Amino acid sequence: MKPLVALIGRTNVGKSTLFNRLTRQSRALVDDQPGVTRDRLYGDVTWEDHAFLLIDTGGFGDTEDALSSRVRQQAELAAGEADLVLFMVDGRQEIQPDDLEVAQYLRRSGKPVLLVINKIDGPKQETRLPEFYRFGLTPLFPISAQHGLGVGSLLDAVVRYLPAAPDAGEPPEGIRVAVLGRPNVGKSSFINRVLGEERLIVSDTPGTTRDAIDAPLIWDNRPYVLIDTAGIRRRSRIHQNLERGMIWQALRALQRAEVVLLLLDAQEGLTEQDLRILNFIAVAGKGCLIGVNKWDVVGKDSQTQKAALDRLNMGLQLISYAPVLPLSVLTGYQVSKVFPLLDEIYRQCQFRAATGELNRIFAQIVAAHPPPRYRHRSVKFYYLTQPDSRPPTFVAFTNIPGATPDSYRRYLINQLRERLGLPYAPIRLHFKGKKHRRGSRIASGQSKD
């Protein structure tokens, strides 16, 4: 499992800016207004062949309202889970009372801490650095999260401080399947049924499962590891640190899994919380099987069943590649179909295409439906590469990377999925600029500029 690094500090010191820079994405909102970040955000960071999970948190504030209290609890929970804490302060300001409060809390936590002094953009700000020895944390790491100054030295230190991977012996063999869903949709009951024993506690009380539990399983002579997780609740029902920790365990299980079984409740249909879980899965790029549990309580006639499935499918556009399987853990209806589908999803998520065949298919796709023009210019595609699998990830080299509309991106992804035989795979497609060289363009479908 990847080590965890938490960004901790008072409001408006630049934690989200650093998070976005290190994770190379813009998921964290950034604004001059203090307190923009409320929930924890998680992102993968790779540096010098080391990988870790970075946690962005809301700031420790001096207000006592209920919202600020919950934001602080989220930050404290992140610090408690982390292997290393980056304590971040504003190098352009004097040390604030909130900075001292954060430092005191971190000393009590016993966690390894690196002091990161942000907004050090030049010699003028560097003259303030001696003031920050007051925290008793050395060495100091002056950086500019906005401009990237000093970030490399900070990352060098981070990977030195991260713990070595624990020797846990040989991990269980098999495809790792995270069983996700809201509380009381039947996750533990499903695992108990396929294991043939009461391995996990089952109760009508939502939230019985608190930790992610690995359960090795042999099904039809194939090995699996089922990861049972706590149900992910609506935010309005998350009151205690324990339940926040349960959600964190579920998200870590998602990180460890190779495929996901998401269980929905056929009686309740697709809820807002189900959509939130689907978003977690889509962002992680995981293959997913959607199991609609308690199908035995849906009407017996085919019209009622079709209407129920149609309502579900209308809300699943975010993860439209995921197959939907009605089942009943109670009666065993269609439970035996789960594992063949998981096998196929896993296979497709490992797919890697031969470069020549990939570009032949890509040329056909573009020729069949050329890209729209951009500001009176032709959009040309030169070639397609696949830098990664798990999930299948493609990069299309083009003369105008930012010119491809979302509708055409969806067309390309759907065509790649169909022609490569990957109906269940979460495909990622990126565009990258490349100057046209004579003879290198494989497809454009447009006249010259």
* 18/196: higher pLDDT: 18
The pLDDT of 77-88, averaged and rounded, is: 84
Q: Is pLDDT at 42 greater than 60 in this prediction?
A: yes
Share of the chain above pLDDT 90, in %: 38
The pairing of strands 175-181 and 222-228 is parallel
- Region of poorest pLDDT, from 100-104, 184-188, 202-206, 223-227: 202-206
Q: At 171, is the pLDDT very low, low, confident or very high (cuts 50, 70, 90)?
A: low
CATH second-level architecture of 175-349? 3-Layer(aba) Sandwich (3.40)
Helix axes 272-284, 241-256, angle to 10 degrees: 40
Reduced to 3 states, what is the DSSP secondary structure of residue 321? coil
Average pLDDT, the chain: 80
Residues counted in the chain: 449
The pLDDT value recorded for residue 62 is: 47
The pLDDT value recorded for residue 446 is: 40
Q: Is pLDDT at 243 greater than 80 in this prediction?
A: no
Cβ(281)–Cβ(253) below 8 Å:
no
* DSSP 8-state code for residue 341: H
- Binding site, annotated residues: 9-16, 56-60, 118-121, 181-188, 228-232, 293-296
* 424/63: higher pLDDT: 424
Q: Can 4-161 and 175-349 be said to share one CATH topology? A: yes
- Binding site, annotated residues for GTP: 9-16, 56-60, 118-121, 181-188, 228-232, 293-296
* 449/309: higher pLDDT: 309
Q: At 174, is the pLDDT very low, low, confident or very high (cuts 50, 70, 90)?
A: confident
Reported in sequence order, the residue ranges of 359-417 that DSSP labels E, i.e. its strands, are 381-388, 393-398
Q: With CA atoms as reference, report the closest residue to 382 among 400, 406, 369.
A: 400
The pLDDT of 329-354, averaged and rounded, is: 95
The pLDDT of 315-324, averaged and rounded, is: 90
Rounded to whole angstroms, how far apart are CA atoms 371 and 230?
45
The pLDDT value recorded for residue 346 is: 96
For 421, counting Cβ atoms within 10 Å of its Cβ (0-12 exposed, 13-18 middle, 19+ buried), the class is exposed
Rounded to whole angstroms, how far apart are CA atoms 32 and 420?
46
Q: At 293, is the pLDDT very low, low, confident or very high (cuts 50, 70, 90)?
A: very high
| pLDDT tens-place string over residues 361-417 | 999 999 999 999 888 888 999 999 999 888 999 999 999 888 889 999 999 999 999
* DSSP 8-state code for residue 377: B
Rounded to whole angstroms, how far apart are CA atoms 291 and 277?
14
What does pTM read for this prediction?
Answer: 0.59
**Cα–Cα distances in Å, from 196 out to 43, 176, 332?**
37, 19, 12
CATH of 355-433 among 3.40.50.1980, 3.30.300.20, 3.30.365.10, 2.120.10.80: 3.30.300.20
Q: At 444, is the pLDDT very low, low, confident or very high (cuts 50, 70, 90)?
A: very low
The pLDDT value recorded for residue 98 is: 87
The pairing of strands 222-228 and 213-219 is antiparallel
Q: With CA atoms as reference, report the closest residue to 65 among 40, 38, 41, 88.
A: 38
Alpha helices in 162-316 (DSSP H): 187-195, 241-256, 272-284, 302-314
- Per mean pLDDT, which of 99-103, 315-319, 335-339 is the most reliable? 335-339
Q: With CA atoms as reference, report the closest residue to 229 among 182, 192, 274, 266.
A: 182
Write down the domain spans for the chain: 4-161, 175-349, 355-433
What's the CATH code, domain 4-161?
3.40.50.300
* 30/53: higher pLDDT: 53
Q: At 197, is the pLDDT very low, low, confident or very high (cuts 50, 70, 90)?
A: low
Q: At 71, is the pLDDT very low, low, confident or very high (cuts 50, 70, 90)?
A: low
- Region of poorest pLDDT, from 5-9, 58-62, 151-155: 58-62
For 212, counting Cβ atoms within 10 Å of its Cβ (0-12 exposed, 13-18 middle, 19+ buried), the class is buried
* 247/182: higher pLDDT: 182
